[in-house]
Amino acid sequence: MSSRNQRSRDCKPGEEQSMEDNSSRPEETFVGLDVSLAKTNICVLGADGTKRFEGAVASDPVVLTETIASVASGCIRIALETGATTPWLWRELKKRGLPVICIDARHANKALSMRRNKTDRNDAHGLAELMRIGWYKEAQVRTIDAQYVRSILTARYQLRKGRRDILNQLRGIVKTFGLYVGSTATRSFLETVREIARDRPSFAPLLTPLVAAFDYAGRLDAATRTQ
């Protein structure tokens, strides 16, 4: 009697089929993504830590999804560090059903800094290793609405800071040339500066663009306030 037939008699119904099914399952893998604007370095590790794939592709969700599907179909976790493009890329990969995890960059950097040669390829390898051993700190990814509000607040802060800088620059210019401006209140000061630019044409190229930039930043600030 062949060994196969003997196993068939010794196994319970369905047991041999189950063994065959297990052998056909994709290998468990862990993926590290080191992302830049143009390209993403990918490293795939097996459960035993053996490198299964290493390469670089475009930082495009579709390309990344197709690549991971072809080289790591049994991936358990995919590492993505916090960064400027992380919220967008994380959402796009999640949308495509990938088990992507956003990890805290500072925590990851401490682990990656212990590696002898710090390169993008090695960083991707290190991130995959963190996924394999489970030593990472997951970071919360903001929703699109939360990201939008944050962007609006940041824009308003920069606009107001820019207006203050322009105003201080104008004050410095008029003091440097000994120009009398009278009231230092912002509105009155700007009116006086405009008059100086009209009455003394040699100062117009210096003062007029700054006043225009101040006014324009104010309109943008008012527009963001209504968002």
The residues, any chain, with a CB within 8 Å of residue 72's CB and separated by 6 or more, are: 29, 31, 44, 52, 53
pLDDT the model gives residue 40: 96
Higher pLDDT, 7 or 66: 66
Identity of residue 217: A
> For residue 130, is pLDDT > 70?
yes
What does 20-81 look like in DSSP terms, one character per residue?
A: HHHHHSPPPEEEEEEE-SSEEEEEEEETTS-EEEEEEEES-HHHHHHHHHHH-TTEEEEEEE
Alpha carbon distance 82, 211 (integer Å)? 39
CA–CA–CA angle 56, 57, 62 (5° rounding): 145
What's the Cα-to-Cα distance from 213 to each of 156, 163, 220, rounded to whole Å?
15, 8, 11
Higher pLDDT, 150 or 55: 55
Higher pLDDT, 177 or 207: 207
pLDDT digits (tens, 9 = 90+) for 137-187: 899 998 889 988 888 999 999 999 999 999 999 988 888 888 767 666 788
Q: In what order do the strands lie in the sheet with 75-81?
A: 51-58, 39-46, 29-35, 75-81, 100-103
Alpha carbon distance 92, 75 (integer Å)? 17
Q: Please give the helix or strand (H or E) that residue 220 lies within, else none.
A: helix 204-225
Q: Tell me, rounded to whole angstroms, the distance of Cα 213 from its chain centroid.
A: 31
Structural tokens at position 46: 């097996």
Please, which residues bridge with residue 46 across strands? 29
Q: What is the mean pLDDT of the chain?
A: 85
